[in-house]
Structure 1
Amino acid sequence: MTVRSLAVALSAGFVLGGCGVPAQDEPHVVTLPRRPLNVTASPEASTDPVGEVAQVLCLIRDSRLVQTVRRVDAVPRPQRLLDMLVEGPNQPEQAQGLSTALATTTLTVTLPAGSTTAAVEVGEAGEGAGRSDEVLAYGQIVCTLTSRADVSAVTFQRDGRPLQVPRGDGILSGSPLRAADYRSLIGPV
């Protein structure tokens, strides 16, 4: 074997054997991305279980928005996402110190065909609402709905009239809002 052949063989061995990924004998925890893993062909999700998908919900911990992932059988409709926010964290999420600013709030969402801007009708918060920080409440709604592939922005209304709501910086806005408008409130997972 010539020196050149030996050099080529050694180089090939290093390239093939040293790809930078160490071998592991045990499984390890994988952190999911902050954006959804699901993509739907239409805004209307199927009601038939099609397999497990990851759905992002924005909950609250220590006056910060926290994106958490729930595993569900099918991509939930936008209204179901809002219902989950109002219901609040499940037991494992509660154990992590997560809560909601939307308890007892009535929310209804519409996503017109061909549009990527969801319109949320906000009712008055009921008696005994756990929080009064509206910035976090609206941030939860916007960050959760825009985690869907088919929603890019959210507008708000009350009794069918446009509603100005606080962005993450506290400034009132009647424009369509995006998760970036609440970036300063999103905390670590």
Structure 2
Amino acid sequence: MLLTGIPLSGCGVPTESEPRPLEPSVHVANPDTPTADTSLPPGAAIEKLYLVRNDQLVGVERRVDRAPALDRQLADLLAGPTEWEQDDGYGSALAGTDFVLGAVLDYGTAVVTVGGTTIRNDEVLAYGQVVCTLAARDDVDQVRFVLDGQPLEVPRADGSLTADPLTAADYAALIAVR
């Protein structure tokens, strides 16, 4: 049954005698107008790095063209915060160090080769940055450090040393809650 001529009064839509422009509920940015954050490169993937702010580990996300390989992500971490991140108060306990020589993935364990055992007085944060950054990857379950091919004892957040593989949980006390 088709009903026609039913008045729309009472449906909550006011009547107007003249058309009026409506504000769109979705605003589309003009591609020629820069957005507020131009420091992030355009990309379809997110790279998560753990940086330091106020003596805590903070996960930051960067947009990248594709998911980075393990060694690329580690290199990005070692390069430190971008200028924008520095302006926002982020730093790195790895800045000015060259103790990490590289990393390989061994069945879900990121094996990080280091070239020395001393970083600085904030070495717990430095190891935490590496562990949390690599453990944030989908293909990494745990992180192990080696020196000259032998397991290396590294500090956990509680200051205890271990040569066992580590996870972000070992540094949970240092991770900032956002």
TM-score (norm 2): 0.72
**5 Å matches for 1:25-174?**
25=25, 52-103=44-95, 104-107=97-100, 108-112=102-106, 115-124=107-116, 131-174=120-163
Deviation for aligned residue 1:25: 3.4
How far apart in 2 are the matches of 1:82 and 1:123?
15
Deviation for aligned residue 1:106: 3.7
Partner secondary structure for residue 103 of structure 2? strand
Deviation for aligned residue 1:102: 1.1
Q: How many equivalent residue pairs?
A: 138
Partner secondary structure for residue 138 of structure 1? helix
How far apart in 2 are the matches of 1:140 and 1:83?
12
In structure 2, the residue matched to 1:46 is: none
CA RMSD of aligned residues (A): 2.0
Deviation for aligned residue 1:26: 5.7
Q: Which runs of 4+ in 1 moved over 2 A?
A: 24-27
Contact 1:61–1:97 under 8 Å retained in 2? yes
Deviation for aligned residue 1:80: 1.0
Deviations 1:38-57, CA, capped at 9 Å, x for gaps: xxxxxxxxxxxxx5111110
Among all aligned residue pairs of Structure 1 and Structure 2, give the percentage whose two residues are the same amino acid. Answer: 47
Deviation for aligned residue 1:92: 1.1
Contact 1:105–1:125 under 8 Å retained in 2? no
**Structure with the greater alpha carbon radius of gyration:** 2
Partner secondary structure for residue 168 of structure 1? coil
Deviation for aligned residue 1:94: 0.6
Contact 1:59–1:66 under 8 Å retained in 2? yes
How far apart in 1 are the matches of 2:151 and 2:174?
24
Deviation for aligned residue 1:125: 8.0
Contact 1:101–1:132 under 8 Å retained in 2? no
